[in-house]
């Protein structure tokens, strides 16, 4: 009886999580603009999507900033994680506590603080300010993704490589990086995902002419959401899901039969 209740509870949780996504995808093929009425199957909203200049502009800035922020934050976060890992315990704990602050800090506080910082530094709000903001809140997540893999490393291998004449850079490139690669990839994916769906921090650090999908969807919601948003969200879901499947296949360790 207890097992059946647990399975029912799990099913309800998954239903609660995935039912809205399923409805969104289904209604992206609805011929009617009304979400309460099924007007037939159609692809016209996907065709309309590529005709909407505002959405295309928002999509361009969203993807561009997400990729740049993910790449830069992954590089900086990985190097920072390696540096933190090689510190003494007291310094490591101190820096990790500082690293937690941007994660637990409310987004609105981070957004306002970054906006004030950019304005004080005479940095024009726009593409550059939004990119810097995304890099800022992505780095802590990359560090937390890479550190566990560093703690799983066998220090004897690194020390043996150095004793055999390998340079620190060669050891980093050929021994450390390959072993922590799953953590780096995870950090990149987290950074990419966080950057794509961020709204609050982006809202405070953007300028005129630069917007992302979250801000564009918010603006459209104030005057009524178009069905093209369902089509756009469905396409993004497929792309991200495909990317996750590819990464999962590449990082899966083959088992011996």
**Which domains, and CATH codes, for the chain?**
53-249 (1.10.3720.10)
d(CA 131, CA 58): 14
For residue 30, the 8-state DSSP code is: B
Q: Distance between the two ends of the chain, CA-based, in angstroms? A: 37
pLDDT of residue 70: 94
3-state secondary structure the chain: CHHHHHHHHHHHHHHHHHHHHHHHHHHCCECCCCCCCCCCECCHHHHHHCCCHHHHHHHHHHHHHHHHHHHHHHHHHHHHHHHHHCCCHHHHHHHHHHHHHHHHCCHHHHHHHHHHHHHHCCCCCCHHHHHHHHHHHHHHHHHHHHHHHHHCCCHHHHHHHHHCCCCHHHHHHHHHHHHHHHHHHHHHHHHHHHHHHCCHHHHHHCCCCCCCHHHHHHHHHCCCCCCHHHHHHHHHHHHHHHHHHHHHHHHCCCCCC
pLDDT tens for the chain, residues 1 to 257: 667 788 888 889 888 888 888 888 888 888 877 766 777 888 888 888 878 788 888 888 998 999 999 999 999 999 999 889 888 888 888 888 888 888 888 889 999 999 999 999 998 899 999 999 999 999 999 999 899 888 888 777 777 877 777 787 878 888 888 888 888 988 898 888 888 888 899 999 998 888 888 888 788 767 666 777 788 778 878 877 776 776 666 555 444 33
pLDDT of residue 76: 94
pLDDT of residue 251: 52
pLDDT of residue 101: 84
Residues making up the chain, counted from first to last:
257
């Amino acid at each position: 009886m207890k097992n059946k209740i647990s399975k029912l509870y799990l099913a309800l949780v998954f239903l609660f999580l995935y039912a809205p996504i399923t409805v969104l995808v289904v209604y992206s093929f609805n011929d009617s603009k009304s979400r309460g009425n099924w007007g037939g199957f159609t692809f016209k909203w996907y065709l309309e999507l590529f005709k909407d200049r505002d959405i295309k502009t928002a999509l361009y800035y969203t993807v561009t900033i997400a990729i740049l922020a993910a790449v830069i934050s992954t590089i900086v976060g990985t190097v920072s994680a390696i540096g933190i890992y090689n510190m003494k315990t007291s310094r490591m704990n101190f820096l990790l506590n500082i690293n937690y602050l941007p994660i637990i800090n409310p987004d609105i506080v981070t957004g306002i603080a970054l906006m004030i910082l950019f304005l004080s530094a005479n940095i024009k709000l726009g593409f550059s300010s939004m990119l810097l903001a995304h890099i800022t809140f992505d780095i802590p997540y990359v560090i937390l993704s890479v550190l566990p893999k560093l703690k799983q490393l066998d220090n004897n291998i690194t020390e043996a490589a150095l004793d055999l004449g390998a340079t620190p850079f060669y050891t980093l490139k050929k021994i450390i990086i390959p072993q922590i690669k799953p953590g780096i990839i995870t950090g990149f994916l987290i950074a990419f995902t966080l950057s794509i769906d961020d709204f609050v921090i982006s809202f405070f650090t953007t300028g005129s002419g630069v917007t992302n999908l979250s801000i564009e969807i918010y603006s459209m919601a104030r005057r009524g959401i178009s069905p093209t948003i369902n089509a756009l969200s469905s396409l993004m879901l497929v792309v991200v899901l495909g990317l996750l499947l590819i990464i999962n296949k590449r990082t899966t360790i083959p088992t011996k039969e």
